[in-house]
Amino acid sequence: MESTVTIPLLKDHHSHPLFYSAFTHAISLNAVQDKRMAEDILSHSFENQTGGLTVAHGWRSNHYHWSQAEIERMPPLAVFNVSLHSLIINRGGMNFLRLKYGDVVNQIADPIWYENNLRVVLNWFANLYASRENLSRFFVQLKDIGIHYLEEMLLVDENEIRIFEDCNLLNRTRFWSAPDTFHSLSPEAKTQVHGLKLFTDGAIGSESAALHRPFLGGEGTNRGMLIYSDSELASTIDHCLETEKSLAIHAIGDRAIEQTVSTLKQLTPRLARAPEIRIEHAQLITEEQARVAIDLGIKLCMQPNFSSDSSNYADRLDQAYCIGNNPFRMLIDKVGYTPGENLILGSDGMPHGIESAAHHSFFPKLPSQQISIPEFIAAYCLDDFSMGSINLKLDESMKTIKYDILSIERESTGNKGEMRID
Ligand SMILES: [Zn+2]
């Protein structure tokens, strides 16, 4: 059975546009499932590389690995895990980065340092290749895959705001920033930041999400990592609240979500200082945690893309975690989360665009992860069709999606809006 529906362009509530725009020329391994194919793609790039650094992203650690010795035999190379929460880099790659950022680069190989300094490392790479041309080109590409607006969850520095301004793109994003980045900004730039962003754990792909029950691999003792102790998190959030900005807290594992929710509860009277408080990802949230969170007025910003972690990471997550991942039906039907109000959706760029968003929302592996079309429109789309529309053709039996995108640029000519169709 085929059905057709027209929806507004996407409003992606979680991405890293400057970082991804810097990588429009980087190698994507997103669709690659075996090592030989990954090496083929990389070697192609090595041939064209003259004294630079080859950067790749989208490495899927559930499908293949390289030993350090294998990596050292390659030209300067850095490969990001699909989650961005781990990185393979060889000595040549580190030498390249050290020229610009100094000896602190040496610590990049330490996974705990890496997780604690993820933002710093992503900023290094963003700053290597970020430019006005790349950002403008990236936003044109986003239109082609149905995205009009996307939130910047990790402002790199004040210069990023200027780049967006120069590209005339301030109305297609809003900025979230780490507390130390925020404090380094001029008073004027601070007013342009919507909120502050914290990390409380890592990710599933890098086995650093903080879980109550251990990851299956290795000795079966790894429960991931919390970035803060309970008291550190309380005082960090408290400092954030002082700025009276909104707050977005990355928490993927149930142990990190537990820590986040109970810390916020403890700070209850002061939470009102923040216009909005969100938990980012919340993949392994339990019903009990969700009930506390909704009572505290906490929004959830989740990624339908990550519903596939239930099968992709069955090698490392126990069955109950796989079944409980991205429990949209529980959140909406049992706990009362309302799409578009306190439940919003985004991609984290893994990958961007309507195809993956629609596929994982409408045809997920588990019925508990299903999102209806009206829910999707409320949580993942612009409020109206003024910027354009996406025509979706859904084939329920084949589980396939076809789409056409119609983008409208509105040029202001006095009171009358003149429409130009791209
Ligand atoms: Zn992110």
Residue 252, helix vs strand vs coil: coil
Closest CA to 139 of 57, 20, 26, 27: 20
* CA of 415 relative to ligand 1 center, distance in Å: 39
* CA of 1 relative to ligand 1 center, distance in Å: 36
- Please give the sequence-ordered ranges of beta strands (E in DSSP) within 91-186, or none if there are none: 147-152, 175-177
* CA of 16 relative to ligand 1 center, distance in Å: 6
* CA of 13 relative to ligand 1 center, distance in Å: 10
* CA of 3 relative to ligand 1 center, distance in Å: 33
In single-letter form, the type of residue at position 366 comes to L
* CA of 280 relative to ligand 1 center, distance in Å: 8
Distance linking the first and last C-alpha atoms of the chain? 31
Q: Which residue has the tokens 């057709």?
A: 4
* CA of 47 relative to ligand 1 center, distance in Å: 32
* CA of 73 relative to ligand 1 center, distance in Å: 31
* CA of 353 relative to ligand 1 center, distance in Å: 15
* CA of 416 relative to ligand 1 center, distance in Å: 39
What does the block give as tokens for 126? 């963003």
* CA of 252 relative to ligand 1 center, distance in Å: 11
* CA of 336 relative to ligand 1 center, distance in Å: 25
* CA of 69 relative to ligand 1 center, distance in Å: 30
Give the class (CATH, top level) of 23-109: alpha beta
Q: Which helix (H) or strand (E) holds 123?
A: helix 118-129
* CA of 394 relative to ligand 1 center, distance in Å: 28
pTM for this model (two decimals): 0.89
- Pairing outcome for strands 388-395 and 2-8: antiparallel
What does the block give as tokens for 106? 């040496």
* CA of 84 relative to ligand 1 center, distance in Å: 8
* CA of 395 relative to ligand 1 center, distance in Å: 31
Query: Are 307 and 325 spatial neighbours (Cβ–Cβ below 8 Å)?
Result: yes
Encode the chain (422 residues) as per-residue pLDDT tens digits.
788 999 999 999 999 999 999 887 788 898 899 999 999 999 888 877 666 889 998 899 889 999 999 999 999 999 998 888 889 999 999 999 999 899 999 999 888 899 888 888 988 988 888 899 999 999 999 999 999 999 999 999 999 999 999 999 999 999 999 999 999 999 999 999 999 999 999 999 989 999 999 999 888 999 999 999 999 999 999 999 999 999 999 999 999 999 999 999 999 999 999 999 999 999 999 999 999 999 999 999 999 999 999 999 999 999 999 999 999 999 999 999 999 999 999 999 988 999 999 999 999 999 999 999 999 999 999 999 999 999 999 988 888 889 989 888 754 333 333 334 33
Query: Are 316 and 215 spatial neighbours (Cβ–Cβ below 8 Å)?
Result: yes
- The whole-angstrom separation of Cα 8 and Cα 381 is 6
* CA of 194 relative to ligand 1 center, distance in Å: 16
Domain ranges within the chain, ordered by starting residue: 23-109, 132-385
What's the pLDDT score for residue 86? 87
Question: What CATH homologous superfamily does 132-385 map to?
Answer: Metal-dependent hydrolases (3.20.20.140)
What's the pLDDT score for residue 28? 87
* CA of 118 relative to ligand 1 center, distance in Å: 11
* CA of 241 relative to ligand 1 center, distance in Å: 21
- Please give the sequence-ordered ranges of beta strands (E in DSSP) within 68-220, or none if there are none: 77-81, 87-89, 147-152, 175-177, 193-199
- The whole-angstrom separation of Cα 400 and Cα 134 is 32
What's the pLDDT score for residue 410? 56
* CA of 250 relative to ligand 1 center, distance in Å: 8
- The whole-angstrom separation of Cα 151 and Cα 304 is 16
Which residues lie closer than 8 Å to 218 by C-beta, 6 or more apart? none
